[in-house]
Amino acid sequence: MKSVGIIGGGVSGLFSAYYLAKENVEVTILEEGNFEDGCSFGNAGMIVPSHIIPLAQPGMIAKGLRWMLRSDSPFYVKPRLSGSLVKWGYLFWKHSTEQHVRYSIPVLRDISLLSKRLFQELAMEHEVAFGWKEKGLLMLFKDAHALPEMKEEAHLAQQAGLEAQLLSGNEVQALEPNVRVDVAGGLYYPGDAHIYPNQLVRNLLAVLKAKGVRILENVAVQDFDIQNKKVQAVDTSNGRYCFDEVVVAAGAWSADLTQKLGISLPLQGGKGYSFMAKPESQSIQIPSILLEARATATPMGGGLRFAGTLEIAGTDTSVNMNRVRGIHSSIQNYYPELSIPFPEKESVWRGLRPCSPDGLPYIGRVKHLSNLTLATGHGMMGVSLGPATGKLVSEIVSGKKRSMDIAPFNPDRF
């Protein structure tokens, strides 16, 4: 029986283990921390085939430079002396073009639709409970000046075969009868969905254990033994492990690990924050993105999860409450009657999204190591793309026909 070691216990690693276990493969997951610390656990929980425009796009750098002047802004690059940050920034700038957006749209659409289809299959099988709901997604905008941008986004989505409806403020309100919404309008994507990530992670772990997957927490990978263009062994804080195949799915820490393998992987951690709240009476029915604030609101677990910000800060996991304040202060701008107390610092979750400079994930083998597969770089869509990533990893490792063309995700593309 083939043995596979998966480094990283986020959604990409867990789904890789899930689909590999179905192929009768012996799977071990090595997780440096515990599973409730990972980026997947406190995610906004949105499953978003609508997200077909990559982070690297025209105008994003100019917006980012303006936002950097505000301590509560939704996007921030922490200044620091770092060659890897300079390289990442150059590649981001190089890919912030209309041509790259046009190239990325069908690629992101296809992997997102594959992932949604797999989520639907999982929901029907009832093997893993994760609060699957197909209620769509609302992109809400306060300022009527955003209308041309929203029209263009709707047009791009429709061209790509996705349903997108541009709504007036009154039409948005009709979709949310239980809470007042104060917006100029919204873009509604009925094909999107949402889940409860905490439930997904916990229940997926239970299913994996039942399938015989070995799950090791608090095990840090320290080095690799490489011989004959293969990873022969993984040296950890818990001893040495030998596998036939190795999968690196370590999120924002993947770049540090791949460096030990002789791979220079352009990747930066994009820190985001979230917190839960239980409104006393009114509540939101449909997940929303608050456009100007770049924050999100998702109904889950009997309450609401608010999330946001993208802070390019390497692997710094400290909590900046000014960023949290920016998320919190935006809520009543869009939902004026929703009374949400400011969260205590201890209740704020933070996680690092692994951001590639072109907005496309890294999924595939690398040239110089025949038994290594990467599964990282999903940015803010790690949970949304989790099942598709896991399925593709299992196909790569088992040598089966791919569910889609993975060439755009080539880890060696830079």
pLDDT in tens, 217-230: 999 999 999 999 99
Contact 230, 266 (CB under 8 A): no
**Residue 320: per-residue pLDDT:** 85
Residues 138-177: pLDDT tens digits? 999 999 999 999 999 999 999 999 999 999 999 999 999 9
135's tokens: 């209620």
CA 198 to chain centre: 14
Q: What is the DSSP string of 191-218?
A: T-EE--HHHHHHHHHHHHHHTT-EEE-S
Whole-angstrom CA distances from 133 to 66, 194, 195, 298 are 36, 5, 6, 11
72 pLDDT higher than 70: no
Per-residue confidence at 85, pLDDT binned at 50, 70, 90? confident
Per-residue confidence at 351, pLDDT binned at 50, 70, 90? confident
- On average, the pLDDT of the chain sits at 91
Per-residue confidence at 182, pLDDT binned at 50, 70, 90? very high
**Residue 115: per-residue pLDDT:** 98
Residues 29-64: pLDDT tens digits? 999 988 766 555 678 899 999 999 988 777 666 565
**Residue 312: per-residue pLDDT:** 79
Question: 51-81+132-187+268-355: which CATH architecture?
Answer: 2-Layer Sandwich (3.30)
Per-residue confidence at 335, pLDDT binned at 50, 70, 90? very high
**Residue 38: per-residue pLDDT:** 57
| Alpha carbon distance 6, 251 (integer Å) | 12
Mean pLDDT of 335-351: 90
| Alpha carbon distance 358, 91 (integer Å) | 7
Residues 275-331: pLDDT tens digits? 999 877 678 999 999 999 889 999 998 899 999 888 777 777 888 898 899 899 999
392's tokens: 């593709």
pTM for the full predicted model: 0.93
- Greater confidence (77 vs 106) lies with 106
Q: Under 8 Å CB-to-CB from 115, ≥6 apart: which residues? A: 47, 384, 385, 386, 387, 388, 389
Least confident of 87-96, 220-229, 233-242, 403-412: 87-96
Percent over 70 (pLDDT), the chain: 93
| Alpha carbon distance 52, 401 (integer Å) | 25
Mean pLDDT of 383-411: 97
Amino acid at 55: L
**Residue 206: per-residue pLDDT:** 94
Mean pLDDT of 88-102: 91
Please give the radius of gyration of the chain, using alpha carbons only, rounded to the nearest integer: 21
**Residue 64: per-residue pLDDT:** 59
